[in-house]
Structure 1
Amino acid sequence: MIPLITKDSKWILTEEGTSEKTIKQNETLFALSNGHFGTRGSLEEAERTREYSHSEATLVNAFYDSEPIQYGEWAYGYAEEHQTVIPVPNGKKLAIKLDNEMFDLDSGKTTNHKRQLDLKQGVLTRTFSWKNTKGHQLDVKIERFVSYNYPELLAQKITLTPHDTGCELQVAATLDDLEHMGMVSEEESNDPRIKAQKERQFQSERIEGSENQMLHIKTNNTHLHLIVGEKNNLSDSSVKSRFINGSENWSMETAKDRSVTLERFVAYGNIFDDGSKNESEAERISDLLDDVAKLGFDEIKEQHIQFMKAFWSISDIQIEGDDEIQVGLRFNLFHLHQAAGRDGLRNMSAKGLTGEGYEGHYFWDTEMYMLPFFLYTQPEIAENLLNYRYTILPQARERAREMAIDNGALFAWRTINGKEASAYYPAGTAQIHINGDIAHAVHTYIKVTGDQAFGMNEGLEILVETARFYAGWGHYDKKRNGAFVLNGVTGPDEYTAIVNNNYYTNLMAKHNFNYAIEMVEEALESNDVIGEMVLEKINFQKSELENWKKASEKMFLPYDEEQELTMQDDSFFHKEVWDIENTPKDNFPLLLHYHPLTIYRYQVNKQADTVLAEFLFSDEFSHSQKKRDYAYYEAVTTHDSSLSRSIFGMMASHLGDLDKAYGYFMDTALMDLTDLQSNTKDGVHAANMGGTWMSIVYGFGGMHLVKDTLHFSPRLPKNWTAVSFKVQFHGRVIQVSINHEGTDYNLLKGETLTIRHFDEEKYLK
């Protein structure tokens, strides 16, 4: 069920009532995070009323445990261990008693129950009135946010206002240290998108000697450590707390209309792998809690609001003419912003930090769907995300050796620690296009930001190592007139696996070679000291340049001359077309109802593949070619992947079919709010959210980068009156305002700049 969108605001999602189904569904939608940790939007008392909760999880980015992958039949090079982000102690747990009666939605009578997620401020608020069986009433307001200013901090404020005098009011705040946090149901255990771990365990111990509640937890197998601390302040200082079984408890007598406020601060520290750091990290977290408690909830909240204000000032997209889409779009940008790791050591998982789907793994989604948003709005975050890839280059090199490639690096398809964690290699390791995806992101980052320091150091090393891998994987095929081919791969479409010459993969590899050539030649010709040191460190040989140039020039890009269609791979057109129209609706997604080999025998796509290649490098294809290919591949695509619709929508924009583009955009923008993929409960679809931003800026705005110049070809759907967005480019901030009469470009910050509007050159100053 979609949360009610208030008519007086384009910034607030509102849920009213006590429907179990709605509250349970909205646990994901109301999740809060900041890239370091996140906590789902579960009720404070959810543990006692399980029907209202799917998962109460709080997740710290990259705090994971592992266990061996059990194969029925093993083969060399298979991924060895699961990597699974595990829920950490729940800092939301709260118990309220009135006259010794415990509050929950099934006890007494709850009225005016409302939860609101304020996207502008980044605050979740819950309000309700509760009358117990004795007729005594209590008004409750609970505010919650995850701070960006203090990345460790979950801040909560609970305000209790009694209607009666002389009742006993009891409150208990618990920092839950359970060693396992829920199980995957039998019904879900066969879904490959969910990891059914028998136990999600860690060891925990309470740290004594601190005025604050402190826990030290350690994963069983990865031996990662984390300090979690809590500090509570009750407004009535005359009421002293008692600690009972790990909970801090207060008991007081009520006075009519006299509110009592509990300010609650829970801090999730930095991950460390050296147990000797326990004491210093615990001291740091305890000091942090003392500092924020002195400032108080309202001051910390105001700082948070100002941070959000700065975020929206550059990142907001304004749509006139459709309030539902407006709030849906802001919801997507809000969650996208929450998901990104910001320390250069962690990335963005497919579900962000809103749920346990996909085990908290990082995929190609980051570079191809999510990074563009940050690249053009918060480039410092984009750099940090790419720096994560640099930190795992050693593991990528090791993986290349396991794949019998003597030089270069192969990035893991799904991972947290850099090692491959995909147990199904046909839709995992075989997707070697991830190298090209990362290289494309690196190259684009350098072009958009002009960050030569990164380009000549981390960027250069990544580009060389990824190009080396493709050079080792491919070969020159004499039967194709010496063309360079890449065999035994899987493209983005996971319904077509282990094929030769996937068009997308080959085109990405071709550009990967070109990117590496460009950066190496720049380093050598400019005598860049850092660049030359990097090349020396990785033992670069000038002969590699010629090899890459030849491979790029000779790259085989399959094409059917008779049909005048771009071929997804060598074999795709030789397969029977899957009858999508007559497949029962209940049999989608196909991956849950058909054996992989059944799917692989047919022409059927899970998501955009060749169309994605043509979208990324649109200038390399004629309009008529893109139109023919679009029509063909759209007819065989199920969109079983959340990554698909945004690409088809953007290509429809470029082809001038705005009605179709708008339809795809509607599905993209409202995917999680409408539970379009039927798995929002496991976490948001973060890559799709990135696709939503791209759909506006790349699609309807028609923005694309050609060499060093931004090009725009805006096309506004008839359903909207106007669209406005901002982008950063080489230190400039440009505002683009589109309506049906035309487009205005305003340079808000930075030096003069030349852009192109269709075929017209515009000078911004």
Structure 2
Amino acid sequence: MNAFRPEYRHRDYKAVLFDLDGVITPTALLHRKAWEELFTAYFSEHPGVSAYTSEDYYNLLDGRPRYEAVAAILASRGISLPRGSESDPAGTNSICALGNMKNDKFTQVLHRDGIDPYAGSLAYLQQVLGAGLNVAVVSSSRNARTVLKAAGLEEHFPLVIGGQEAAARGLAGKPAPDTFLAAAADLGWRPEECVVIEDATSGVVAARAGGFGVVGVAREDNAAALLEAGADFVVEDLSELVSEQAVKAWEEDPWSIARTGHRESSGAEDTVFSLGNGFLGSRAAQLGLGDQSGGTFINGLHEVWQIRHAESAFGLAETGQTMISAPDFRTLRVFINDEALEVGRTEMLRDDLRLDFLDGTLNAHTLWRTAEGHRIEVKSRSMISFTDRHMAVQDIHVRLLDAPAQVLIQSSVIGYRSTRTVASPEETDAGGPVDPRKSEEASANPLNPAGTFAEDARLGISYEVSGSGMSVAAMVEHQVAITGGAQADLSISRKAADERADEVISTRLGAGQGVRVSKFVVYHSSRRHPAQEMLLRSERVLKHLVPLGIDEHFRTQRRFLADYWERSDVQVDCDDPALQRKIRWNLFQLAQAAGRADGLGISAKGVSGNGYSGHYFWDTEIYVMPFLTYTNQQWARNTLRARVAMIPAATRRASIMNEAGLLFPWRTINGEEASAYYPAGTAQYHINADVVYSLNRYLSVMEDDEFLLAGGAEILVGTARMWASLGFWRGEPGDERFHIHGVTGPDEYTAVVNDNLYTNVMARFNLRRSAQLLTEMAQERPRDYALLADKYALEEEEILLWLKAAHCMHIPYSESVGIHPQDEHFLNREVWDLENTAADKRPLLLHYHPLVIYRFQVIKQADAVLALWLRSSDFTAEQKLADFNYYDPLTTGDSTLSATVQSILAAEVGYRDLALEYFEHALNVDLDNLHGNTADGVHVASTGGVWSALIYGFAGLRDDDDRLCFDPRLPEAWRSISFSLAWHGMRIAIRLDKTSITFTLDGAYSRPLWVRGEQVDLIPGESVVVELADQGPVREGRPSLDRVFEVQSEAGVDVPRKAW
């Protein structure tokens, strides 16, 4: 506990255990007076016995249980009395009688003089309560509750373990740690999660023995003794711990996000506080909502159906795919004397929710007042394990604060209920379209019951999916314990049926008692194996994991995330206290979406919801893979494995589309194309180049040549062949150009065009890089290359043709306008006047027919600008500025994929403030529900884009030529940014500030990198500082639509503008 800090945060400690006398209240004065009156009189009746002194109080009485204190002071005088019984009347004939006499005297003094809490202690208590921490009083005094009531603090301490409570529970007093350990257990926290505040050495010794953090309060000039006894540090008054810094440390914790008070009902909160590990995910589990279903997801668990086209055509996608909900484990219902604790019916006094990025847990704390007027505290912790990817756990602690009651807890795993995303009222108004970003509807009940399990303490349910043939099973087991003293009888019933599995726990508890229920749930699913096998697998896993105990799983989760954050964190030093928290929320979502996908894809919403039907898109390769490649390489490799698994389906798709090689699906779950709207789906052939771009970065960073043999080389061959087949040649010999027509770039407001800039630039890269890597493979691994060439009938002439196509690729450029047109005809279209388009007409795709939008120069998301980033070395600085100035005012940002790319390019060309504005928009896309659809799930690609905006935008990284090159653009409001990158089996720690950038290489051999064109040689174990003259060019304001028309006019083009 040496790491204890006065301004500890909620994530560091969960509870504060206060001693009473001398810490909260000056009861020591009353006790001292009562002891003094008692023993002054008593010793005066024993001639030859030393008179009572103040030293007796500090050395023999303070901090001890009453009867032990009496025995100690009598022994110091050589007086021997029988112990007697605690029921002895007050008197002098036994130790207990004397102790009871002292108690009477204390009560008389308390009632006569009254008592006020220390002002500093009261302020500190308010600070602790405001931070959301639990509190308890742990005192040797048998009058603890009486004192708290006299001081007006009874309501603040629902848990009090005083002398009477300790005796009733058979707990040894201080300096034994038993009472502190019992308080921590009653609150539901481990000792290392609690802080003890003590003023007596016996209390400090007890707390230290129990493994608690300890703060000593030295009101009697006893600081040295408290430190020697084991206090982490000592204060003279708790007011020393009250500070604005401490309050901010709680309110602005950069490692968690919290909601206190009113719950949001929009569904966005369920997304923001969701949990996941890439394989298994759940939306926020909150008490008081009745049965919860439709909010637990397994990556890849889906249903299929026949797509009905109004007018069909050859090659259109035929089979739709939609992620469906797995059996939902989140339901925990609490009944007090048969009254259900439910939102809207039961009075709520407290309702807090906290997602902890270090613990990987969702923590809920609610306080209810029943219709009978009694307070019930309910705390829960939920977790989806990163180390055991099939497991989810919930830990709930229900405590009666005021009165005894019958407590019933119903814990359920609920089978399928439709997870169709219902259109909003606005969408169902006359003429209002259904939002295509939401999930498609599966059949009414795609999960068919396939068997149940009920054996020992375990319950299981299983299903088979009607159309896809997948199987899924969930199995649950509980551990139950009574807290707060005497044990109580438990009644437990269990039942597994086709639709649900329920365990019902019932007990009669006294005031101050509680019941803790630990719930372990394991999921398995398969595309090949039957449901019964999934049940058996789930049972095996539960048998292994449950005996470890839930607390061990929480500790394991924290260790996993400590390693994750060491590799993945990005630290920004600035005056905005919320910024770091928001950055880490975004980075935490990447772990939750990708961490244990283990060869499955990463869907647009991860496992936080089924928006976009749970499909995998190009988002993964362009927006998520940069982060994974530089921070979590095994996750990156597993993500690429998902594309390798799609090769057979991609080969079939290319054939259907009359192309050679392979064509990856635009959107899919099972590898088959599922895009029913081909202009904004299948026509986005750039998906092939996106995959190769991602593959190349991974190979460059990791030097994982083995992955080429595990499918990477097949991707290189297949994608290059597709481009060679799709494109065509025009021009005279010696001046031939390679064109690609009939495609859609990233901008879905401009569809099925010729020579889309992004597509052509990326296809050129794909062709060239495939040829280079395969040529290197032929030279360095000739046997492996020979097998590949034989399998695919690959000849050298074909590779040379790829190189020629790349060299001759047509890259649109308008000499008159001075920019790269987004496509062949883009500059000839009418300009959409976004600046004068009503806000209630956004996003455009929900208010205008696609044909209307396609006629205009208007952009949904960065397209040409994205090419400027990804293939930075293909463009000059002047070209990037001209292109950005033209396209930025035309970009609606209707897609969440846009802001981070615009931020990166704005930073590079000098629009420093605009870059930060776009970055902050991306940062808050889900946290503030900026696009109105956070309820459908986390925008995973945007969270990956946040990392890219930090590293590629503000740190200025460029790696498109397989080198690390930096040209920093630190925002004016930031003092520094720090992060680390993996590179060739080593790790580089990087810190950028206003005047320099520092690199520290953790590796075995030197590596070069470049800063603003100058080579910098890194030496293992040493920090290399590169001085910076500035943070790049600075341009005020932002590109305007007026400038677009000026450029067109200067080129002699009369382009009208139009707005609705």
Q: TM-score range by the shorter chain?
A: over 0.9
The whole-number CA distance in structure 2 between the counterparts of 1:731 and 1:682 is: 38
Question: How far 1:44 sits from its partner (Å)?
Answer: 3.8
Amino acid in structure 1 at the alignment position of 2:771: I
Q: Residue 267 of structure 1: SS of its match in structure 2?
A: strand
Aligned to 2:511: 256
Note if 1:305 corresponds to 2:543.
Answer: no
**CA deviation string 1:493-521 (max 9, x = no partner):** 00000110001101111111111111121
8 Å Cα contact 1:233-1:262 kept in structure 2: yes
Question: Mapping of 1:384-399 within 5 angstroms?
Answer: 384-399=638-653
Question: How far 1:385 sits from its partner (Å)?
Answer: 0.6
If the length of structure 1 is used for normalisation, what is the TM-score?
A: 0.96
Question: Mapping of 1:173-252 within 5 angstroms?
Answer: 173-181=411-419, 184-185=422-423, 187=425, 190-197=434-441, 199=444, 201-211=446-456, 212-236=458-482, 238-243=489-494, 246-252=501-507
Q: 1:443 aligns with which of 692, 696, 704?
A: 696
Note if 1:320 corresponds to 2:573.
Answer: yes
**Alignment gaps of 5+ in structure 1:** none
Aligned to 1:287: 540
The whole-number CA distance in structure 1 between the counterparts of 2:345 and 2:260 is: 18
Q: 1:688 aligns with which of 930, 942, 945?
A: 942
Question: Mapping of 1:501-650 within 5 angstroms?
Answer: 501-650=755-904
Note if 1:79 corresponds to 2:317.
Answer: yes
Deviates more, 1:296-305 or 1:528-537: 528-537
8 Å Cα contact 2:491-2:507 kept in structure 1: no
* Bigger relative contact order (CA 8 A; separation at least 6): 1
Aligned to 1:93: 331
Question: How far 1:200 sits from its partner (Å)?
Answer: 5.0
Aligned to 1:125: 363
The whole-number CA distance in structure 2 between the counterparts of 1:281 and 1:723 is: 47
8 Å Cα contact 1:14-1:115 kept in structure 2: yes
Classify 1:307/1:56 alpha carbon distance in 2 versus 1 (closer, same or farther; 3 Å).
same
Classify 1:344/1:106 alpha carbon distance in 2 versus 1 (closer, same or farther; 3 Å).
closer
Rg larger in 1 or in 2? 2
**CA deviation string 1:706-736 (max 9, x = no partner):** 5443111122111111110011011111111
The whole-number CA distance in structure 2 between the counterparts of 1:570 and 1:655 is: 25
Question: How far 1:656 sits from its partner (Å)?
Answer: 2.3
Deviates more, 1:112-121 or 1:285-294: 285-294
8 Å Cα contact 1:342-1:385 kept in structure 2: no
8 Å Cα contact 2:294-2:416 kept in structure 1: no
**CA deviation string 1:685-709 (max 9, x = no partner):** 1101111000111111111225443
Q: Residue 62 of structure 1: SS of its match in structure 2?
A: strand
**Alignment gaps of 5+ in structure 2:** 1-131, 133-247, 428-432, 483-487, 1020-1060
The whole-number CA distance in structure 2 between the counterparts of 1:602 and 1:426 is: 16
Q: Residue 565 of structure 1: SS of its match in structure 2?
A: coil
**CA deviation string 1:161-219 (max 9, x = no partner):** 11244311111101112343455236457111113415252112442353311111111
Q: 1:474 aligns with which of 709, 719, 727?
A: 727
If the length of structure 2 is used for normalisation, what is the TM-score?
A: 0.69
Question: How far 1:273 sits from its partner (Å)?
Answer: 2.1
The whole-number CA distance in structure 1 between the counterparts of 2:682 and 2:451 is: 41
The whole-number CA distance in structure 1 between the counterparts of 2:591 and 2:679 is: 32
Question: Mapping of 1:134-153 within 5 angstroms?
Answer: 134-153=372-391
The whole-number CA distance in structure 2 between the counterparts of 1:695 and 1:688 is: 10
8 Å Cα contact 2:872-2:960 kept in structure 1: no
Note if 1:675 corresponds to 2:929.
Answer: yes
Note if 1:35 corresponds to 2:278.
Answer: yes
Q: 1:719 aligns with which of 942, 950, 973?
A: 973
The whole-number CA distance in structure 1 between the counterparts of 2:424 and 2:403 is: 49
**CA deviation string 1:69-97 (max 9, x = no partner):** 11111111110111000001110101110
Question: How far 1:8 sits from its partner (Å)?
Answer: 4.2
Amino acid in structure 1 at the alignment position of 2:900: S
8 Å Cα contact 2:383-2:394 kept in structure 1: yes
The whole-number CA distance in structure 1 between the counterparts of 2:908 and 2:811 is: 22
Question: How far 1:271 sits from its partner (Å)?
Answer: 2.1
Q: Residue 626 of structure 1: SS of its match in structure 2?
A: helix
The whole-number CA distance in structure 2 between the counterparts of 1:21 and 1:348 is: 27
Q: 1:17 aligns with which of 250, 253, 261?
A: 261
Question: How far 1:32 sits from its partner (Å)?
Answer: 0.4
Q: Residue 556 of structure 1: SS of its match in structure 2?
A: coil
Amino acid in structure 2 at the alignment position of 1:215: I
Computed over aligned residues only, the root mean square deviation of the Cα atoms, in angstroms, reads: 1.9
Question: How far 1:18 sits from its partner (Å)?
Answer: 2.9
Question: How far 1:756 sits from its partner (Å)?
Answer: 1.3
The whole-number CA distance in structure 2 between the counterparts of 1:209 and 1:69 is: 39
Aligned to 1:271: 526
Q: Residue 222 of structure 1: SS of its match in structure 2?
A: coil
Amino acid in structure 2 at the alignment position of 1:376: Y
The whole-number CA distance in structure 2 between the counterparts of 1:25 and 1:549 is: 49
8 Å Cα contact 1:175-1:247 kept in structure 2: yes
Amino acid in structure 1 at the alignment position of 2:282: T
**CA deviation string 1:381-406 (max 9, x = no partner):** 1111111101111110100111111x
Question: Mapping of 1:416-495 within 5 angstroms?
Answer: 416-478=669-731, 481-495=735-749
Q: Residue 408 of structure 2: SS of its match in structure 1?
A: strand
The whole-number CA distance in structure 2 between the counterparts of 1:222 and 1:44 is: 34
Classify 1:181/1:566 alpha carbon distance in 2 versus 1 (closer, same or farther; 3 Å).
closer
Q: 1:411 aligns with which of 637, 651, 664?
A: 664
Q: Residue 358 of structure 1: SS of its match in structure 2?
A: helix
The whole-number CA distance in structure 1 between the counterparts of 2:339 and 2:989 is: 56
8 Å Cα contact 2:628-2:636 kept in structure 1: yes
Question: How far 1:663 sits from its partner (Å)?
Answer: 0.9
8 Å Cα contact 1:492-1:609 kept in structure 2: yes
Classify 1:479/1:419 alpha carbon distance in 2 versus 1 (closer, same or farther; 3 Å).
farther
Question: How far 1:653 sits from its partner (Å)?
Answer: 1.3
Question: How far 1:341 sits from its partner (Å)?
Answer: 6.3
8 Å Cα contact 1:344-1:386 kept in structure 2: no
Amino acid in structure 1 at the alignment position of 2:696: H
Amino acid in structure 1 at the alignment position of 2:543: D
The whole-number CA distance in structure 1 between the counterparts of 2:407 and 2:739 is: 73
Percent identical pairs in the alignment equals: 34
Q: Residue 581 of structure 1: SS of its match in structure 2?
A: helix
8 Å Cα contact 1:39-1:56 kept in structure 2: no
The whole-number CA distance in structure 2 between the counterparts of 1:487 and 1:616 is: 22
The whole-number CA distance in structure 1 between the counterparts of 2:274 and 2:597 is: 21
Classify 1:394/1:617 alpha carbon distance in 2 versus 1 (closer, same or farther; 3 Å).
same
Amino acid in structure 1 at the alignment position of 2:259: E
8 Å Cα contact 1:184-1:196 kept in structure 2: no
Classify 1:289/1:450 alpha carbon distance in 2 versus 1 (closer, same or farther; 3 Å).
same
Question: How far 1:554 sits from its partner (Å)?
Answer: 1.3
The whole-number CA distance in structure 2 between the counterparts of 1:239 and 1:248 is: 12
Q: Spell out structure 1 runs of 4+ moving beyond 6 A.
A: none
**CA deviation string 1:334-373 (max 9, x = no partner):** 0011111645531101111111110000000000000000
Aligned to 1:106: 344
Q: Residue 521 of structure 1: SS of its match in structure 2?
A: helix
The whole-number CA distance in structure 2 between the counterparts of 1:294 and 1:160 is: 22
